[in-house]
Amino acid sequence: MSLTYLLDTDAVVDILRRRHRVAERVAEVSPEDVGVSAMTVAELLYGSLCSQDPERSEREVRRFVEVVRIVPFGRAAAAVHSRIRYDLRRKTIGPNDLVIAATALTTKATVITANVREFARVDGLVAENWR
């Protein structure tokens, strides 16, 4: 599966909260070119449980994930994940970011994130901040 952009969790939160320019930039590209990893969906649902209004927050997340392409963490991503984790074993990135990075590399996608510094440590991964 090929993809152009993989939205990190913070980028989706920016879209849901209508902050920054992320939503505008996403609207400028084809919907087929944008997706989120299954890990991002998990992080969004967890965040909704922690919010002050969990029901409303979960509804917003579920509405969003109904219309966006969700990229599973499959066999190829698992292999890439192990390589990234090995390469960064002395100065690793967060475990969820490892999954997102592996998903992006497997789909040849650019990660859209406000956390470019973290993702930039992964060899071959392109990350952009659309804020």
pTM flag (> 0.95): no
The CA distance from 14 to 101, in Å, is 19
Residue 2, classed as helix, strand or coil, is coil
Distance between CA atoms of residues 7 and 23, nearest Å:
11
In 17-86, the DSSP E strands lie at 34-37, 69-71
**Segment 1-7 mean pLDDT:** 88
Contact present, 119 and 127 (Cβ < 8 Å): yes
To the nearest 10°, the Cα dihedral for 97, 8, 50, 53? 180
**Chain-centroid distance, C-alpha 105:** 12
Q: Is the dihedral of CA 84, 89, 91, 94 positive or negative?
A: positive
Q: Which domains does the chain have, with CATH numbers?
A: 5-128 (3.40.50.1010)
The predicted-structure confidence for 59-97, as pLDDT tens digits, reads as follows 999 999 999 999 999 999 999 999 999 999 998 899 999
pLDDT, position 1: 66
How high is the pLDDT of residue 109?
97
pLDDT in tens, 8-49: 999 999 999 988 899 999 999 998 999 999 999 999 999 999
Q: How many CB atoms within 10 Å of residue 52?
A: 6
In this predicted structure, the answer to whether residue 2 has a pLDDT above a threshold of 80 is no
